[in-house]
Amino acid sequence: MILRNAWLQRLLGGGAAERLGIRMASLLEYASLRAHKDPDVLQHIRRSRWKRKTLVTFNEAYMVNSLAASVAGMPGDLAEVGVYEGSTARLLCEQKGDAALHLFDTFEGLPAGVLKSEQVMYRPHQYSCSLESVQEFLSDFADVHFYKGYFPDSAASLPAGRRFSFVHFDVDLYQSTLDCLKFFYPQMLPSGIMLSHDYSILEGVRQAFTEFLTDKPENLIELPTTQCMLVKR
Ligand SMILES: C[S@@+](CC[C@H](N)C(=O)[O-])C[C@H]1O[C@@H](n2cnc3c(N)ncnc32)[C@H](O)[C@@H]1O
């Protein structure tokens, strides 16, 4: 429960200490995974983190990669809200095959308007990275679409009638998480996966899932990382 501690989160949130913590955890996780996982998969995850800042640990990246791979062959698009420098987006690019991938971010960091109580921990524009930098990082991949601006407003330009097999939320905030759930849930294919980062450590993310699921038939699956997922019925 130590990582849920508000004081610790305030101290570590967003700075060099947070990055160092993620790096140290990832080194240990990578060392452990090397003992039993396919080296090619590990190498491919390492490439997605090469020279990019990321907020996900190695095990979390592994989950993103495996779950995105698990929907291969399903019809439907993939999406991510919360792209930052594009590390997890690159994993989706590698796993998506011929499917379209839709990437949503302000590309100017966390939106100031919805920080509210989370303000103690985050600064407006924290985790900012330019759209051009992410486009360059993902330039080898086809059918990748970028939506710059505040989500869900930015989704107005998403072509109508899209259905999704896999969506990844990594938005840190209560309102952003709730908006992701409200927007994508009705558009998920049966058996489609909604994966979120930070469920077990960020109160706002947890609250958004709890509220949203009150009148839904799906049960939340908590993963051993900070992540959680839903499988659409
Ligand atoms: C923790 S970072 C994402 C980390 C990333 N997935 C990785 O690979 O490390 C959170 C991102 O969410 C974005 N964000 C949060 N709420 C948003 C919203 N309502 N609309 C657009 N972007 C949002 C921020 O701009 C930031 O880039």
CATH number at residue 90: 3.40.50.150
Check residue 213 and give its pLDDT: 98
Q: What band does 91 get if pLDDT is binned at 50, 70 and 90?
A: very high
What does the pLDDT read at residue 13?
A: 63
Q: How far is the CA of 35 from the centre of ligand 1 (A)?
A: 32
At 229, phi and psi to the nearest 5? -145, 160
Q: Give the burial class of 222: count Cβ atoms within 10 A of its Cβ; 0-12 exposed, 13-18 middle, 19 or more buried.
A: middle
pLDDT tens digits, 4-14: 666 566 666 66
Sheet strands side by side (includes 101-105): 144-148, 101-105, 77-81, 164-169, 188-196, 228-231, 221-222
User: Which residue has the least CA distance to atom 4 on ligand 1?
Assistant: 84
Domain region containing 196: 2-231
Residue nearest to atom 22 of ligand 1 (CA): 105
Model confidence at 101: pLDDT above 80: yes
pLDDT of 22 higher than 90: yes
To test the pocket of ligand 1, the residue of 171, 172, 176 to mutate (highest count of ligand atoms within 8 Å of its CB) is: 171
d(CA 134, CA 195): 21
User: Which protein residues are within 6 Å of ligand 1, measured from CB?
Assistant: 54-56, 82-84, 87-88, 104-106, 109-111, 127, 150-151, 170-173, 176
Please determine, for residue 159, whether its predicted confidence score (pLDDT) is greater than 80. yes
The pLDDT assigned to 183 comes to 98
- How far apart (Å, rounded) are the C-alpha atoms in residues 197 and 199? 6
Predicted local distance difference test score (pLDDT) of residue 117: 60
Query: Rounded to whole angstroms, what are the CA distances from 129 to 90, 126, 171, 210?
Result: 15, 9, 14, 30
Q: Is the peptide bond before 186 cis (omega within 30 degrees of 0)?
A: no
Q: How far apart are CA 168 and CA 13, in angstroms?
A: 21
Paired with 230 in beta bridges are 194
Collapsing DSSP states into helix, strand and coil, what is residue 180?
A: helix
Mean of per-residue pLDDT scores for the chain = 93
What's the domain count of the chain?
A: 1
pLDDT of residue 6: 66
What share of the chain in percent tops pLDDT 70? 91
Contact 170, 56 (CB under 8 A): yes
